[in-house]
Structure 1
Amino acid sequence: MRHPLSRSAVVVLVATSTACVGEMPPPPQITVTSPERGLVQGHAGQVVVKGVASPGVSGSPVTSVTVNRVPAMLAADGSFTAVVDVPPGAMLLETSAFSAEGGSVTDARAVQVGELRPVGTTIERAATAALSTDAFARLSAVAGPKVKSMDLMAKLAPLQPMANLGDDLANVKVSITKLTFGDVKISLAPVDGGLEFSATIDALNVAANAAYGGALVPDGTSSVGVTADRVTLAGTLVVTPAGTDGFSTAIASPTVRATSLRLQASGLAGKILDLLQDNLESTVQRVLTSSAEKALQPLINSAFGALAGPKRIDVLGKTLELQASPSAVQFTRTGALVTMNLGVKIAGSESSPGFVFTPNGTPSIDMNTGVQVGLADDLINELLAEVHALGLLDLHLEEDFGLFDTADIKLTVPPMVSANNSDGTMRLVLGDMIATFSEEGKTVISAALNAQVDLALLRGNTPEQIALKFGKVHAFVNVLDDETGMLGSDLSGAAAAGIGIQLDSLSQFLVTVPVPSVAGVTLDNLSLRADSGYVIASGSVH
C-alpha cells in the first residue's frame, strides 16, 4: 500500500542493533541462528535461543550474553545458548551481547504463542462489562426523553390487537391507532434477578379502533379513546440473552396506578361498552407494559453493548462486520454483570492463515463503582490477523531519507496484543517487519523492525465513548543486509515513520470493536489494565 509520509503517531526508537550513540563504546557483533524470525509456537513453555557473538570493530571481547535478561551460556568460540520461558501471547526475544569496554548490541525478534484458529471464529466471552448503581442512575435520567422520541406505534404493530375481550356471544378487539403522552420519568435500579423499574407518564392519550361482534352483537367498528392525567407503571424488568438480537426485556409482576383514567366510547353501548369498562385498567396495563418492554429493549442493548444483529462498518475502504450475542447477564443490588460472545470479520480476509488464540481466565470485575469493560485480547488479535491478511499494514514510503528515497515495509506476522502480562500492563507487539530501503530503485539496505507499543485509554469521539489509544513505542532495528556500511541509527527516521503510519491505520480498526457504553454517562478517571487475557477499561461515572 502506497502512503505519503505521516508522523501523526509518536515513535521512540529506544534500541537498535548496530548504532553507536555519542561516546558509547562500539558494539560487538551478534548473530541469532535460532529461533527463526516470526516464530509461532502452539503452546506455552520454553524457547531455546542460539547464536554467535563476536568482538566489534574495536576488538573488545564479548563478556556476556543475555536473552530477556536471562544469562546465556557463552562458549569460548562466542557461541551461546539460552533457555527462556514463553507464556501465551506475543513477546519479543531481546538477545543482548556486552563487550569488556561497555559496548552492547541487541537482536530483537518476535514470538507468538497459542493455538492457531481461523479468522471469523466467534470468541466466547469476548466482552464482559460491569455497570454500577450509579451507571443505572445516569441511564434512568436519559431514558425518559429517549422513550418519548421513539416511534412506539411501529414497535407495537406486531402486537396488535392489543386487547381481545369477551367470548362468542359478545367480543371486541382493540387496536391502538395513536399513542401520545407528556413527560416521562423512568427509574432503573439493579436488584437481585433484574432491574427495579418504574415509569411515571403524564398526559396519557390513547386512540384506538374497537372491532366488535358475536352471536348477540352485530359486527361493527368504533373509535374509542383513553386518557389519564398521570399513570405510574412499576415492576421488575427481567433481562435475558436473546442471541444475535441482543437482549429481551420483560416486566414481571407489573402494576399500574392511574390518576383520572377516562374512557371515551360514545359510539358504543350495552355489552361491548361493559366489556371495555370492566377491562379498562387491565387493557391500559397491557398497552403500557408492552410499550415499556419494547422501548427499553434498545436502551438495554445500547447500555450493555449488544448490536441486535450484524453491524457493518466501512473502514479504510473495507467492510467490517461485527456480530454480538449475549451469553449471560447477572443482576445484584450492587450492579449488573454482562458477558457477550463476539465475532469480527473483514471482507476479503479469508486468505489469512488464522490468528493466535490464547486461553483466557476470569477477569476481576467490580460492579460497585462506575463502569468496567473487559475485552478479550483474542478478539483484538483476530481483527489484527484479518488486517494483516489484507496487506493493509504493508507500506511503500517515498521521501528523501538521505542515503535512500524509498522504504518498503512488510509484516511477516500479524500484530498481536497481549493482556496476560504479570505486571498488569497492556502492549501491542509489531513483530519482525522486514524493511527494504532503496535509492533510485536499487536496494541499499534491509532490516528487521520490531516494536512494543504501550496501550492507553482515552475518551472517544464523544464524552460517552472510550477508545484504546497507542502510547510510547519501543522500537528495535536490526540490519539484515547492508551494502552501504551505514549505521542502523540512520534508519530510525524511516522506521519511525512507517510504524507511525501502521498505528494510524490500526487505530481506525480498533475503535470499531464494540464496547458497552451507557447513554448519558460520561466516564472520568479512565484507566487500563490487563487481567487474565482481558483488556480491562475502568472509569468513574460523572
Structure 2
Amino acid sequence: MRNLVALATGLAVLTAIAACENGPGAPKEPPVLTVTSPARGLIQGHAGQVTVSGQALPNAAGDALDKVLVNDVQATLAPDGSFSAVITVNEGATLIETVASDVQGTAATDTRAVQAGQLRPVGTSIDKAIDLSMSAASFAKLSTAAGPILKGLDMASLLAPMQPMLNVGGGSTYAQLFVDDVNFSDIQIAMSPVQGGLSFRAEIDKLDVPAHVRFAVLGLGGSDSLRVTADRVVIAGTLAITPAGLSGFKTRIANPNVSVTSFHFDAGGIPSTILNLLHIDSIVQTILPPAAELAMTPLVNQALGALAGPQQLDVLGHKLDLQLAPSAIAFDPSGAVLAMNLKVLLAGSESSPGFIFTNNGSPAMTASYGFQIGLADDLLNEMFAELHALGALNLTVPKDVGVFDAAQIHMTVPPMISADARNGELRIVLGDMLATFTKQGTPVGKAAINARIDLQIVPVGNGNSIALQLGPPELHVDVLDDVANTTGLEPRDLAAATAAAVNAQIEAISKLLVSIPVPAIAGLQFHNLAVGSDQGYVMVSGQLQ
C-alpha cells in the first residue's frame, strides 16, 4: 500500500477534504506506512488478541518518525521502522486503524477489518431472532382495529375443518350439526392484558348462523337445514394464547360466558327429538365460543407479527426461504412480551463458509410503553453472509470521469452488524471492500474501503409497517499499490472517487434491509419511532395509532 488516504464522516465531508488537498498550501508528505499483518478481511473463530505488524518509514523529506498507534495502543517501533502491537478484538466486526505520525505531526493511516466469533452454517435457525412487546394501550388500539379484520374473515372456510361441530346421541337416534357459516352485521372487540392472557369481550350484532343437520330417529334417517339468529350476542372470557410453531399462535377462550338477546331458530322439518338432542335453546352458547376462538387466531397472528409460517420472498433477485415460529409469550396487566425463532436461507448460498454468531443477552423488553421490536444481530448477519456467498454485493458501478469509466466493488467479507467498541451502539460495518477503477476494462487504480454506518428506522407502507435503513457512512479509504495508479489523480482525489461506489453499495444493502421481516401489527400505524441497541439486538420502539 502506497499511502493511506482519508477518514471522513459522510461523503460530503470526504469530497470536501479531497478538494482542499488540491488547493494552495498542500500538506507535507506523510510517513510511508505498510501494514503486513493481519491480512485484509481477516475472519477468526474467536475474540481475543490480534497482532498488528508492519513498517513505517520517514517521508521523502526525511522527517523522523514519532510513534505508531494501533487502535490507540502504542506499537513497539524498531530502528528499521518495523513495528508491532497487540490489540484486543471483541466478537463481531472491528476496524483496525494504524496511525504512523512523524515529528512534524503529519500522519499516515491504514484501516482494515477483522471479524471474530463462532462460525455457524447459513440456514441455522436463530433462537429469539425477534422479540416483541406491546403495552396495554397498544392492545386497546388493536381492539379498535379488530372489528374490521374479523368482518373480513371467511368464516365458512375457517369452520370447515371443524365439521360436524356437534355429534350427539348414538345407535339408532343421533344428530350431527354442520355449521355452514357465521354472519353478523357488526362486531366490537375489547381486549386488555391480564395475568396469563387477554381479558376478552366480543359484542356481536344481528347474528345469523346457517347450518344443516343429519339425523336419525329410531333408525329412520334424514337431513334438513337449520338457521339460528339473535339480535345481539356477547361473549366474554380470558383469551389464552400459546405458541403453535410455524402455524403462529393458537387461541382458546377460557371459561366463556355467552349471553344472547332475541334468540330465534328456524328448524324446518327437523323432529323435536333431534332438537332436544341438540339442546337447541342453548345452541348459540355451544357453537359460538369455538367459532370465536377460530376467528381470533388469525387476528392474534396479525396483531403479534403477521409473519409465522414458511414464506418465500424475493431479495435482490434471489429467493429467500423464511420460517418463523413463535417460541414464547407472556402476559401481565402491563402488556405482552413474546419471542420468535427464525430460519432464513437464500437459494444457492449453501456454499457460504458461514456467518459470525455472537452470544447475545436478553434485551430489556418493556411492555408498559407502546411497542418494542428487537431484531437479533445474528439474523441480519446471517442474511448478509448468504448474500456475500452469492456475490450479490459485488458491484460494477459505471462512473465516467475521463481517467476511469467504471469501478468494480468486491466484498472480501460480508457486511456485519456489530457493536461499536467506542459506545456500544450497533452499526453496520462494511469491511475491506476493494474498489478497482478501470478504463475500457483495464485497471488504472485500486482502493480499500472500510465504513461504519448507523442504522435508521422509517415507516413504510402508509405507516403500517417499518423498515431499517442506513444513515450517512463514516469512511476510511486506503489507496493500494497492487494496481498502479495511472489515473493521474492524487491519492486523495482517487479516494474521493470512491463516493459513487460506496453509494451504490449502500443502496444495495438498503434493499436487503427493507426485505428483512419486521413485524407489522394488524395494520396499525407506527408513530414516534426510535432505534437503539441492547444486548446485541437492534431495538425499535414507538407508538401505535
Shared fold per TM-score greater than 0.5: yes
Identify which range, 237-246 or 195-204, moves more after superposition. Answer: 237-246
Asked whether the equivalents of residues 138 and 520 of structure 1 are also in contact (C-alpha less than 8 Å), the reply is: no
Find the partner of 1:57 among 56, 60, 63: 60
**1:118 maps to 2:117:** no
Report SS of the residue matched to 2:287: helix
CA offsets per residue over residues 408-439 of structure 1, 9 Å max, x none?
Answer: 11111111111475624221111111221122
Q: Which residue of 1 aligns with 2:186?
A: 183
CA offsets per residue over residues 159-208 of structure 1, 9 Å max, x none?
Answer: 01112233335321111123210110011111111111110000001111
Asked whether the equivalents of residues 467 and 518 of structure 2 are also in contact (C-alpha less than 8 Å), the reply is: no
**Separation of aligned partners in 2, 1:474 and 1:14:** 9
Asked whether the equivalents of residues 12 and 475 of structure 1 are also in contact (C-alpha less than 8 Å), the reply is: no
**1:213 maps to 2:216:** yes
Report SS of the residue matched to 1:178: coil
CA offsets per residue over residues 337-357 of structure 1, 9 Å max, x none?
Answer: 111110111111122111111
**Separation of aligned partners in 2, 1:526 and 1:479:** 39
- Change beyond 3 A, Cα 1:202–1:192: same
Find the partner of 2:253 among 251, 254, 257: 251
Find the partner of 2:205 among 197, 202, 209: 202
Tell me how far 1:493 sits from its aligned partner.
4.4
Tell me how far 1:103 sits from its aligned partner.
1.4
Q: Which residue of 2 aligns with 1:303?
A: 303
**1:524 maps to 2:523:** no
Report SS of the residue matched to 1:260: strand
Tell me how far 1:387 sits from its aligned partner.
0.8
Report SS of the residue matched to 1:179: coil
Tell me how far 1:227 sits from its aligned partner.
0.7
Asked whether the equivalents of residues 12 and 472 of structure 1 are also in contact (C-alpha less than 8 Å), the reply is: no
Q: How does 1:97-246 map to 2 (within 5 A)?
A: 97-215=100-218, 218-246=220-248
Identify which range, 479-488 or 236-245, moves more after superposition. Answer: 479-488
- Change beyond 3 A, Cα 1:21–1:535: farther
Q: Which residue of 2 aligns with 1:260?
A: 262
Q: Which residue of 1 aligns with 2:3?
A: none
CA offsets per residue over residues 249-283 of structure 1, 9 Å max, x none?
Answer: 1111111011111122142333123224x3432x3
Tell me which amino acid in the other structure corresponds to 1:262: H
Q: Which residue of 2 aligns with 1:460?
A: 460
**Separation of aligned partners in 1, 2:86 and 2:310:** 46
- Change beyond 3 A, Cα 1:66–1:164: same
TM-score normalised according to structure 2 size: 0.92
CA offsets per residue over residues 502-532 of structure 1, 9 Å max, x none?
Answer: 2211222222222222124322221111211
Asked whether the equivalents of residues 320 and 345 of structure 2 are also in contact (C-alpha less than 8 Å), the reply is: yes
Asked whether the equivalents of residues 11 and 473 of structure 1 are also in contact (C-alpha less than 8 Å), the reply is: yes
Asked whether the equivalents of residues 454 and 472 of structure 2 are also in contact (C-alpha less than 8 Å), the reply is: yes
Find the partner of 1:499 among 495, 499, 502: 502
Which structure 1 segments of 5+ residues have no match? Answer: 1-9
Report SS of the residue matched to 1:506: helix
Identify which range, 382-391 or 297-306, moves more after superposition. Answer: 297-306
Identify which range, 404-413 or 415-424, moves more after superposition. Answer: 415-424
**Separation of aligned partners in 1, 2:248 and 2:421:** 32
Q: Which residue of 2 aligns with 1:326?
A: 326
- Change beyond 3 A, Cα 1:188–1:467: same
Tell me how far 1:14 sits from its aligned partner.
4.7
Q: Which residue of 1 aligns with 2:402?
A: 402
RMSD: 2.1
Tell me which amino acid in the other structure corresponds to 2:99: S
CA offsets per residue over residues 336-391 of structure 1, 9 Å max, x none?
Answer: 11111101111111221111111111111111101101111011000001111111
**Separation of aligned partners in 1, 2:332 and 2:372:** 16
Asked whether the equivalents of residues 397 and 504 of structure 2 are also in contact (C-alpha less than 8 Å), the reply is: no
Tell me which amino acid in the other structure corresponds to 1:280: D
Q: How does 1:337-352 map to 2 (within 5 A)?
A: 337-352=337-352
**Separation of aligned partners in 2, 1:420 and 1:244:** 35
Tell me which amino acid in the other structure corresponds to 1:49: V
Tell me how far 1:241 sits from its aligned partner.
1.0
Tell me which amino acid in the other structure corresponds to 1:242: A
Which structure 2 segments of 5+ residues have no match? Answer: 1-9
Asked whether the equivalents of residues 435 and 501 of structure 2 are also in contact (C-alpha less than 8 Å), the reply is: no
Tell me which amino acid in the other structure corresponds to 2:112: R
Q: How does 1:1-150 map to 2 (within 5 A)?
A: 11-12=11-12, 14=14, 20=21, 23=25, 24-150=27-153
- Change beyond 3 A, Cα 1:162–1:179: same
Tell me which amino acid in the other structure corresponds to 2:458: L
Tell me which amino acid in the other structure corresponds to 1:241: P
Tell me how far 1:84 sits from its aligned partner.
1.5
Tell me which amino acid in the other structure corresponds to 2:245: G
Identify which range, 310-319 or 53-62, moves more after superposition. Answer: 53-62
Q: Which residue of 2 aligns with 1:294?
A: 294
- Change beyond 3 A, Cα 1:286–1:270: closer
**Separation of aligned partners in 1, 2:44 and 2:13:** 28
Tell me which amino acid in the other structure corresponds to 1:53: A
Percent of residue pairs identical: 47
Asked whether the equivalents of residues 13 and 476 of structure 1 are also in contact (C-alpha less than 8 Å), the reply is: no
- Change beyond 3 A, Cα 1:224–1:38: same
Q: Which residue of 2 aligns with 1:7?
A: none
**Separation of aligned partners in 2, 1:389 and 1:493:** 28
Q: Which residue of 2 aligns with 1:3?
A: none
**Separation of aligned partners in 1, 2:189 and 2:152:** 14
Tell me how far 1:11 sits from its aligned partner.
3.7
- Change beyond 3 A, Cα 1:312–1:11: farther
TM-score normalised according to structure 1 size: 0.93
Q: How does 1:482-493 map to 2 (within 5 A)?
A: 482-484=484-486, 486-493=489-496
Identify which range, 55-64 or 232-241, moves more after superposition. Answer: 55-64
Count residues in correspondence: 529
Q: Which residue of 2 aligns with 1:317?
A: 317
Identify which range, 113-122 or 477-486, moves more after superposition. Answer: 477-486
Tell me how far 1:471 sits from its aligned partner.
0.4
Q: Which residue of 2 aligns with 1:386?
A: 386
